[in-house]
């Protein structure tokens, strides 16, 4: 059941479990808890599906096939399992899942502060105070957009947007556009603009790229069969570096395809290295474009090679494909940059990532970089958990395909802890009765 804030919380209420966030993670753990007889209170700052609806561009779609959308007892049930849901379909899928969960979800309630309080926690919210024994923070890990530290030096005549605020090419003023960052958002937004006929400059970073289809299957299908998406982070050689890696760029647009920035350069997209110098009159770029493209291609080829090895190991018959060969090379000469006096920009779109913001949590559970310190979502502060973070346990932890397993894990632990609490209280009551 979904409730609006105006009918929901009282000035002070108490609950055994509170879930903060009603995205796929928060709803998944709510469902898992309810399967164990525990009905948590779920607080959602906006409304269900808000981020997908309001913080994605109009042509946005998933980069993973629809069949990989498998929330608890709620797999994708449409007629295009090999397709890629657009943002409106994603919102619909999530809202239908919320009705399937039928949890006590309070939309429009913002949690402003979380502090330990005796044997539990106190929440200060926009609708009053709430006490809870157990808290699951399911707000994701991408909260505040990052920009170049010198972004404020750009002339006021240039519109500046973060990736989450970009909608479509027609919403921008006429003229050339600079997209900064070549991860999933940057490469896809640059394509969106370029395919609409806009003049596009793309500042390319270190993001890797991935094939879309290889040897007869979508690469996601191969990697899923190979167990890559279910591999715990603890089995990786360097877990810390895994969490810091940028997502590979490719797209689900037009039925799903690769993004080859070299080919876009051949077609007229203007590629640059990393953005360095910013003044009111000039933008300078590092002379590292060739290295960045080579590194992205190296990852692309390693993915293909790993699939080749697995196909051979499993003795699977699959069509062969020719080796990859780059179709374009940047000039080795230094990039002269952009002279904003002679070649003014209409807009700059910052696709340079996000930082976490857990400043509202007053509990000793963070590392020196402000990231939650946890073991599969379980912190050292008893009863405080995180869910839906990138690489919480596996590649799929922050996605539709893997959050179910993490939610089940936390629900089992929470249920066990509540059972132990009840048993302990029962023993105390029996002792008091026998001793009276």
pLDDT tens digits along 336-394: 999 999 999 999 999 999 999 999 999 999 998 889 999 999 999 999 999 999 899 99
- Of 120, 35, 47, 101, the closest CA to residue 410 belongs to 35
Amino acid 9: pLDDT: 43
Mean pLDDT computed over 35-42: 98
Cα-atom radius of gyration of the chain, to the nearest Å?
A: 24
> Around 361, how many Cα atoms within 13 Å sit in the side-chain half-sphere?
21
Phi and psi based region of residue 128 (left: phi greater than 0; alpha: psi -120 to 50; beta: remaining): left
Average pLDDT (62-87) is 97
Mean pLDDT (whole number) for 127-147 = 96
| Residue 45: band (very low, low, confident or very high) from pLDDT cuts 50, 70, 90 | very high
Euclidean distance between CA atoms 132 and 123, whole angstroms: 8
Of the listed ranges 24-28, 96-100, 234-238, the one predicted with least confidence: 234-238
Supply the DSSP symbol for 214: E
pLDDT at 8 over 60: no
185 pLDDT higher than 80: yes
Three-state DSSP class for residue 100: helix
* pLDDT (mean) for 306-335: 97
In angstroms, rounded to a whole number, what is the distance separating the alpha carbons of residues 174 and 346?
6
Residue 428 has pLDDT above 70, yes or no: no
pLDDT given at position 243: 77
316 has a pLDDT exceeding 80:
yes
Residues 6 or more apart in contact with residue 120 via CB below 8 angstroms: 131, 132, 133, 134, 383
Give the residue among 17, 93, 24 at the shortest CA–CA distance from 388.
Answer: 24
Lowest mean pLDDT among 79-88, 221-230, 234-243, 337-346: 234-243
Centre a 10 Å sphere on the Cβ of residue 387 and count the other Cβ atoms it contains. Answer: 30
Mean pLDDT of 1-16: 61
pLDDT on residue 10: 45
Whether residue 435 is predicted with pLDDT greater than 70 in this model: the reply is no
Band of residue 396 on the pLDDT scale cut at 50, 70, 90: confident
Tell me, what's the pLDDT at 12?
Answer: 73
Q: What is the pLDDT of residue 236?
A: 85
Better-predicted residue by pLDDT, 6 or 61: 61
**HEC string for 169-183:** HHHCCCCCEEEECCC
pLDDT band with cut points at 50, 70 and 90 for residue 431: low
Which pair of tokens denotes residue 422?
């009840």
- Residue pair 383/16 in contact (Cβ under 8 Å)? The answer is no
- Classify domain 2-143+356-429 by CATH architecture: 3-Layer(bba) Sandwich (3.50)
**Residues 149-155: contacts with CB within 8 Å, 24+ apart?**
150/277, 150/278, 151/278, 151/348, 151/350, 153/278, 153/279, 153/280, 154/278, 154/280, 154/348, 155/280, 155/340
Contact (CB, 8 A) for 337 and 201: no
194: Cα within 13 Å, side-chain hemisphere: 22
Q: Which one is the CATH code of 145-354: 3.20.20.70, 3.30.710.10, 3.90.78.10, 3.50.50.60? A: 3.50.50.60
Residue 224 in contact with residue 64, Cβ under 8 Å? no
Residue 7 has pLDDT above 50, yes or no: no
- Region 295-317: mean pLDDT is 98
Count of all residues that appear for the chain in the document:
436
Q: How many CB atoms lie within 10 A of CB 157?
A: 11
pLDDT in tens, 77-99: 999 999 999 999 999 999 999 99
φ, ψ at 135 (rounded to 5°): -130, 130
Per-chain mean pLDDT for the chain = 93
- Whether the CB-CB separation of 340 and 155 falls below 8 Å is answered with yes
The pTM (predicted TM-score) of the whole model is 0.92
Judge whether residue 11 has pLDDT over 60. no
Evaluate the CA torsion angle 180, 184, 189, 195 in order and state its sign. positive
The CA–CA distances, whole Å, from 413 to 36, 114, 188, 405 equal 11, 21, 39, 13
Per-residue pLDDT at 132: 97
Write out the residue limits of the CATH 3.50.50.60 domain(s) in the chain. 2-143+356-429, 145-354
Between the two ends of the chain, the Cα-to-Cα distance in Å is 45
The band of 421, judged by pLDDT with boundaries at 50, 70 and 90, is: confident
Edge to edge, the sheet with strand 282-285 lists 275-278, 282-285, 338-339
Please give the average per-residue pLDDT across 15-26, as a whole number. Answer: 98
Alpha-carbon distance of 370 to 364, in angstroms, equals 11
């Amino acid at each position: 059941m979904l409730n609006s804030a105006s009918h929901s919380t009282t000035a002070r209420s108490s609950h055994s479990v509170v879930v903060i966030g009603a995205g796929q993670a928060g709803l998944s753990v709510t469902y898992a808890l309810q399967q164990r007889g525990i009905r948590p209170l779920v607080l959602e700052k906006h409304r269900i599906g808000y981020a997908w609806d309001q913080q994605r561009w109009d042509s946005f779609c998933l980069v993973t096939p629809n069949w990989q959308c498998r929330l608890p007892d709620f797999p994708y049930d449409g007629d295009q399992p090999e397709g890629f849901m657009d943002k409106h379909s994603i919102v619909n899928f999530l809202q239908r899942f919320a009705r399937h969960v039928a949890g006590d979800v309070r939309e429009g309630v913002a949690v402003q502060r979380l502090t330990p309080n005796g044997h539990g926690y106190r929440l200060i919210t926009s609708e009053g105070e709430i006490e809870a024994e157990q808290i699951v923070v399911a707000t994701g890990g991408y909260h505040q957009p990052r920009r170049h530290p010198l972004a404020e030096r750009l002339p006021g005549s240039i519109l500046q947007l973060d990736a989450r605020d970009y909608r479509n090419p027609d919403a921008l003023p006429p003229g050339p556009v600079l997209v900064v960052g070549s991860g999933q958002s940057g490469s896809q937004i640059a394509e969106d603009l370029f395919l609409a006929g806009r003049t596009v400059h793309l500042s390319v970073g270190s993001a890797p790229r991935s094939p879309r289809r290889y040897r007869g299957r979508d690469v996601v299908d191969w990697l899923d069969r190979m167990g890559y998406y279910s591999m715990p982070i603890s089995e990786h050689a360097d877990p810390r570096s895994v969490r810091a890696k940028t997502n590979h760029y490719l797209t689900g647009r037009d039925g799903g395809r690769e993004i080859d920035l070299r080919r876009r350069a051949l077609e007229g997209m203007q590629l640059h290295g990393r953005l360095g110098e910013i003044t009111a009159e000039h933008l300078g770029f590092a002379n590292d474009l060739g290295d960045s493209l080579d590194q992205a291609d190296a990852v692309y080829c390693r993915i293909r090679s790993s699939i080749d090895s697995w196909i051979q190991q499993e003795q699977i018959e699959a069509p062969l494909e020719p080796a990859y060969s780059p179709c374009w090379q940047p000039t080795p000469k230094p990039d002269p940059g952009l002279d904003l006096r002679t070649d003014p920009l209409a807009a700059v779109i910052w696709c340079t990532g996000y930082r976490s913001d857990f400043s509202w949590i007053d509990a000793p559970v963070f590392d020196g970089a402000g990231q939650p310190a946890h073991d599969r979502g379980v912190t050292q502060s008893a009863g405080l958990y995180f869910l839906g973070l990138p690489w919480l346990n596996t590649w799929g932890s922050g996605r539709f395909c893997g959050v179910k397993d993490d939610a089940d894990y936390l629900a089992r632990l929470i249920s066990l802890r509540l059972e132990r609490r009840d048993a302990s209280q029962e023993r105390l009551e029996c002792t008091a009765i026998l001793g009276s």
